[in-house]
């Protein structure tokens, strides 16, 4: 299905709601100005405005697909230079499967639906599709914007290539070998989990990191659980309101009752039908707001906290390497063999570890303030939106009541 | 103003003409519009004879109960009738001595002497029968409650006993307030008796709540979970609505079986209501036979009104069924939403605990609380959706089935009449043949048979006209009740929705400052 999405103008420099307030930096502004959905692929138009000398033109525009974003993320996370940085989590794969399936089922001609019901359901599903689309665009955009805002990451060569190279990056999807490689990497990571949970007996000397470790472990688990539960609530909401499996047939049935009923009840039923239509739309909007402000927030911080955990693993691995190098140096000194290389190696490990620690400290502090401001913003917006919707519903209901009571003889 | 009047001589009063009712029109505006097809001015004597026969207790006095103060004989009447608007003009004309003459031997008019109270006639013109029905509704003073479900017995013989409490000032009852214990089969028994007596002459007898083997088995077995309590509550409410509808029907209210049901402490067990009893099987067979008959009767409908109404009810039936199914689905999903919201609230609380930033932690805990409260709200809303809306729809689907039944009885009545005519024709032909064949002894018998069948034909025609008239009246009353019912329920439902939204506003308004306080 072709779904060209026009991003509203003037969105540049807007603080990203998920990653907290990002500074509007004129030297490098990245946004996704357009997106098109083609069958099973989404094509994002990435627009860059920059005054940096690296770019050949002040304004650049390229078309990228999801796999290229993932490739970019992987180059960062595999780069040892950035080991002390929280790598912004890669955006999730665009998933229109469920939505597309529903639309297909609807289109297959479910004859139990009246024409009116069909039209309304189609509208609902299309709205849902559009919402998912907007979300995936936002996710991809946030990823790029965080990269652009980070003082170190923004200078990465691959990032420039990504932003400027107007040909296809020929980043094919991972073949089997690479997937397997990824699988092994995950196993290694679990070993790191063991490290990080302190079972291996690695001594943490820094209180700050000790605290962060305990905190992040629990926080990540909790936020993942809450995210899951929030998703379930969204899905329930959808079946009551959004997909309107329930409300559409009700309002349609009420409508036809309204036209066929005796005079005294006509007004009641018609008003009720109208009301249900309105409530459905209102509640649909409320549900998707909740989805955006709560669900997406939790999802993002689930991924971001995982990235922070990854950083801690890397630092601990560096610490382990440092300790091992120390032991090796001691052994070399004892045997008085190859002391120099051992010393050099130990120096390297020490420097690496200290570099990572310093950087990690900064990153984790940033993570915290980012998280707090994002939660704050989203919770406030959530509450304000909920209030707005509840007030609108309340007003609507009260007006209907007045109309119906007035209709009484 | 009442002081000017002399009390009427007892047993001897004439109801003033309706025209003297200054506000007569106002009282019944809502009903007037549906009365286009009402019969013009039937004689009072045309009231169903069945009324008298089944009403062995004699005519019921009017609903107006007066005290012994003769001066104010009609003051009470004024107050009773002017329920809706206190500034209504007195119903009676300033005629000092209205002579009350019983217009027919049937209900409503003849005053009855009682030691405690004196009843006055219903002061409405008989010709406005429909309005009189409405008047009975307005002067109706009978409150019924079904409460306190109690499990009696053990195992598979256990049953639920419900307390039926009646509060009334009607004189046909022995006391003003009384209560009895009844079980579900008693209600079914009552309905069965009423249906047998009244359905076939065209009265819309409200159907009893449905049996539920699954539900009852759970209760019997003693499962004390929420679904069985819900089932019992649903049944209790349904029984209450059933009784309230039944007593609202002016003719049914007169029935001694109904009175016995409400009043007497012991009631003979109604075994015929069991599904697998002999009577139950007979019922099923009859139903099947009826269905076949219905298909074969092709009635010449002379009155378009009936055809129209039948079609209307058929449409209404379909619409209501559709709506009912959708509302039940809604209720189900609301329950699901509630469960998920509760789980989310718990999870958010734990997240709040693990958050190390104090203000954010507090805000998250607050969020969890808000979500929990919202969950409660959703549950209550599901309750409202179900009881208020869905049960009403279910009730009316069953009521319309009763209405359709009544129309079917009319068809059967017509068929009977036609059959009698056909038989009469045959007898006449047989007689003519006998005349020619000159068989005097058989001739007399044939003449007798003709006489017999002529009477039957006449009776058949009368019955048919009677049932048609009754149905018209009943449908009018039914529609009025339905309009009232639906309007009330819709408003109640909307009010509950408003409540929910108001609560939501309160919760989120309380939360907002917490969110803003995150520093």
pLDDT in tens, B406-444: 998 888 888 889 899 998 898 888 888 888 887 777 788
Q: What are phi and psi of B96, to 5 degrees?
A: -70, -40
Q: pLDDT-derived band of residue B159, with 50, 70 and 90 as boundaries? A: confident
Of B333, B343, B512, the CB nearest to A229: B343
More confident residue, B189 or A19: B189
Torsion-angle region of residue A100: left (phi > 0), alpha (psi -120 to 50) or beta? alpha
Split at pLDDT 50, 70, 90, the class of A91 is very high
CB contact under 8 A, A225 and B367: no
Partner-chain contact B29 A229, CB within 8 Å: no
Contacts of B327 in chain A (CB under 8 A): 250
| A384 contacts on B by Cβ (under 8 Å) | 512
- Segment A82-86 shows an average pLDDT of 90
**Per the CB < 8 Å rule, is B357 touching A222?**
no
Interface test with A, best of B386, B396, B501 (most A CBs within 10 A): B501
Helix (H, G, I), strand (E, B) or coil at B160: strand
CA distance A338 to chain B (A): 48
Nearest CA in chain A to B368: A226
Nearest-Cα distance to chain B for A18, in Å, is 16
A261 interaction partners in chain B (CB closer than 8 Å): 316
pLDDT value, residue A9 = 36
How far, in Å, CA of B206 to CA of B220, rounded?
Answer: 27
Q: What percent of chain B has pLDDT over 90?
A: 10
Instruction: Taking residues A355-379, report their average pLDDT.
Output: 91
- Mean pLDDT, residues B344-373: 89
Asked if A263 lies within 8 A of B354 by C-beta distance, the reply is no
The pLDDT value given to residue B139: 54
pLDDT band at A302 (very low <50, low <70, confident <90, very high): very high
Residues near A187 by Cβ (< 8 Å), separated by ≥ 6?
none
Residue A227 clears pLDDT 90, i.e. is over it: yes
Of A211, A226, A265, the CB nearest to B483: A265
CB A225 to CB B483 under 8 A? no
Per CB-CB distance under 8 Å, the chain A contacts of B484 are none
Q: Is the ipTM of this complex over 0.90?
A: no
A59–chain B nearest CA distance, Å = 38
Q: Which of A267-281, B90-104, B239-253 has the highest mean pLDDT?
A: B239-253
Q: Which residue from A minimizes the CA distance to B367? A: A379
Are A386 and B367 an interchain contact pair (Cβ–Cβ within 8 Å)?
no
CB contact under 8 A, B505 and A245: no
Of B316, B322, B508, the CB nearest to A390: B508
Residues of B in contact with A249 (CB under 8 A): 322, 326
A391 to chain B nearest CA, in Å?
A: 7
| pLDDT value, residue B24 | 36
| Chain A residue closest in CA terms to B514 | A380
Q: What's the pLDDT tens digit per position in B311-329? A: 889 989 998 998 888 888 8
Q: Do A236 and B340 make contact, defined as CB atoms within 8 angstroms?
A: yes
Q: Quick one: closest CA in A to B504, which residue?
A: A390
Which of B28, B335, B340 is the best mutation test for A, with the most CBs of A within 10 A? B340
Give the closest of A233, A382, A390 to B341, CB-based: A233
Nearest to A70, CA basis, from A186, A151, A154, A178: A178
Using CB atoms, pick whichever of B320, B337, B483 lies closest to residue A264.
B483
Structure tokens belonging to residue B481: 């009740």
B165 versus A179: which is more confidently predicted? B165
Per the CB < 8 Å rule, is B518 touching A379?
A: yes
pLDDT at residue B8 tops 70? no
- Nearest chain B alpha carbon to A380: B515
Highest averaged pLDDT of the listed ranges A203-207, A272-276, A364-368: A364-368
Distance CA A168, CA A64 (A): 8
Residue A304 has pLDDT above 90, yes or no: yes
Q: Which of B319, B367, B495 sits opposite A256 (nearest CB)?
A: B319
Under an 8 A CB cutoff, do B347 and A275 touch? no
What's the whole-number mean pLDDT along residues B167-183? 86
Q: Is A293 on the interface with B (CB under 8 A)?
A: no
- Cα B245 from chain centroid (whole Å): 3
- Contact map slice: A 264-283 vs B, CB within 8 A: 264-265, 268, 272, 275
> How much is the average pLDDT of A117-126?
81
Chain B contact probe: residue of A287, A375, A377 with most B CBs at under 10 A: A375
Chain B residues in contact with A210 by the CB 8 A cut-off are none
Residue among B84, B341, B344 with most chain A CBs within 10 A, to mutate: B344
Residue B238 has pLDDT above 70, yes or no: yes
- A223 neighbourhood in chain B, CB within 8 Å: 351
């Amino acid at each position: 299905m072709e779904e060209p999405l026009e991003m509203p103008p003037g969105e540049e420099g807007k603080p990203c709601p998920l990653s907290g307030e990002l500074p509007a930096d004129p030297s490098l502004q990245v946004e996704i100005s357009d997106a098109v959905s083609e069958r099973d692929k989404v094509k994002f138009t990435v627009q860059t405005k920059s005054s940096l000398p690296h770019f050949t033109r002040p304004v650049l525009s390229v078309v990228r697909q999801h796999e290229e974003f993932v490739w970019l993320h992987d180059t960062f996370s595999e780069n040892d230079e950035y080991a002390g940085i929280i790598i912004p989590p890669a955006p999730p794969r665009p998933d229109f499967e469920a939505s597309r399936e529903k639309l297909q089922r609807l289109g297959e001609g479910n004859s139990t639906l009246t024409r009116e019901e069909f039209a309304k359901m189609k509208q609902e599903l299309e709205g849902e599709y559009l919402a998912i689309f907007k979300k995936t665009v936002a996710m991809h955009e946030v990823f790029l914007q965080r990269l652009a805002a980070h003082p170190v990451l923004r200078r990465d060569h691959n990032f420039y290539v990504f932003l400027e190279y107007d040909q296809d990056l020929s980043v094919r999807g991972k073949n089997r070998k690479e997937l397997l490689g990824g699988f092994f990497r995950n196993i290694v990571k679990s070993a790191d989990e063991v490290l990080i949970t302190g079972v291996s007996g690695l001594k943490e000397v820094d209180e700050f990191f000790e605290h962060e470790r305990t905190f992040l472990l629990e926080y990540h688990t909790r936020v993942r659980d809450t995210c899951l539960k929030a998703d379930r609530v969204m899905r329930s909401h959808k079946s009551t309101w959004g997909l309107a499996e329930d409300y559409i047939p009700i309002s349609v049935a009420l409508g036809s009752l309204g036209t066929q009923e005796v005079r005294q009840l006509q007004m009641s039923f018609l008003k009720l039908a109208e009301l249900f239509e309105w409530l459905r739309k209102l509640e649909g909007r409320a549900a998707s707001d909740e989805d955006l402000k709560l669900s997406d927030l939790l999802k993002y911080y689930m991924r971001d906290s995982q990235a922070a955990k990854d950083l801690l693993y890397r630092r601990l691995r560096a610490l382990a390497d440092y300790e091992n190098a120390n032991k090796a140096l001691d052994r070399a000194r004892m045997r008085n063999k190859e002391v120099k290389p051992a010393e050099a190696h130990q120096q390297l490990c020490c420097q690496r570890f200290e570099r990572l620690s310093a950087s990690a400290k900064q990153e984790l502090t940033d993570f915290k303030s980012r998280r707090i401001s994002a939660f704050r913003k989203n919770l406030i917006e959530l509450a304000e939106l909920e209030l707005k919707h509840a007030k609108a519903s309340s007003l609507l209901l009260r007006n209907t009541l007045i109309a119906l009571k007035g209709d009484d003889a | 103003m009442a002081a000017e009047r002399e009390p009427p001589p007892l047993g001897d009063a004439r109801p003033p003409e309706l025209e003297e009712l200054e506000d007569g029109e106002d009282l019944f505006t809502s009903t007037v519009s549906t009365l286009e097809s009402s019969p013009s001015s039937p004689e009072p004597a045309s009231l169903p004879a069945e009324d008298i026969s089944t009403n062995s207790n004699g005519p019921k006095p009017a609903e107006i109960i007066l005290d012994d103060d003769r001066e104010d004989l009609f003051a009470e009447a004024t107050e009773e009738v002017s329920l809706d608007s206190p500034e209504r003009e007195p119903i009676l004309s300033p005629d000092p001595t209205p002579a009350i003459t019983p217009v027919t031997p049937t209900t409503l008019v003849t005053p009855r002497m009682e030691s405690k109270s004196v009843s006055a006639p219903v002061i409405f013109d008989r010709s406005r029968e429909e309005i009189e029905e409405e008047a009975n509704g307005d002067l109706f003073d009978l409150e019924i409650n079904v409460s306190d479900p109690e499990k009696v017995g053990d195992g598979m013989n256990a049953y639920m006993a419900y307390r039926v409490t009646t509060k009334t000032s009607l004189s046909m009852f022995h006391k003003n307030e009384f209560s009895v214990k009844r079980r579900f089969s008693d209600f079914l028994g009552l309905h069965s008796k009423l249906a047998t007596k009244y359905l076939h002459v065209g009265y819309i007898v409200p159907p009893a709540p449905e049996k539920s083997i699954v539900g009852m088995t759970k209760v019997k077995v003693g499962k004390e979970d929420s679904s069985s309590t819900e089932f019992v509550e649903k049944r209790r409410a349904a029984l209450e609505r059933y009784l309230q509808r039944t007593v609202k029907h002016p003719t049914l209210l007169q029935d001694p079986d109904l009175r016995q049901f409400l009043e007497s402490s012991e009631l003979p067990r109604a075994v015929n209501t069991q599904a697998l009893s002999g009577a139950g099987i007979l019922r099923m067979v009859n139903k099947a036979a009826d269905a076949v008959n219905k298909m074969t009767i092709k009635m010449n409908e002379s009155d378009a009104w009936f055809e129209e109404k039948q079609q209307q009810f058929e449409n209404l039936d379909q619409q209501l069924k559709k709506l009912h199914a959708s509302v039940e689905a809604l209720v189900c999903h609301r329950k699901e939403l509630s469960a998920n919201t509760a789980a989310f609230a718990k999870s958010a609380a734990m997240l709040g605990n693990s958050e190390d930033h104090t203000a954010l932690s507090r805000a998250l805990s607050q969020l969890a609380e808000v979500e929990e409260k919202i969950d409660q709200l959703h549950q209550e809303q599901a309750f409202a959706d179900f009881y208020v809306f869905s049960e009403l729809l279910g009730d009316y689907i069953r009521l319309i089935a009763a209405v359709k039944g009544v129309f079917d009885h009319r068809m059967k009545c017509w068929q009977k009449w036609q059959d009698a005519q056909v038989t009469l024709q045959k007898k006449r032909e047989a007689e003519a043949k006998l005349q020619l064949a000159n068989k005097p002894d058989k001739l007399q018998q044939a003449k007798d048979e003709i006489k017999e069948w002529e009477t039957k034909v006449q009776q058949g025609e009368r019955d048919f006209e009677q049932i048609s008239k009754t149905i018209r009246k009943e449908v009018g009353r039914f529609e009025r009740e339905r309009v009232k019912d639906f309007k009330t329920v819709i408003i109640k439902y909307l009010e509950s929705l408003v409540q929910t939204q108001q609560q939501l506003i309160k919760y989120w308004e309380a939360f907002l400052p917490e969110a803003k306080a995150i520093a």
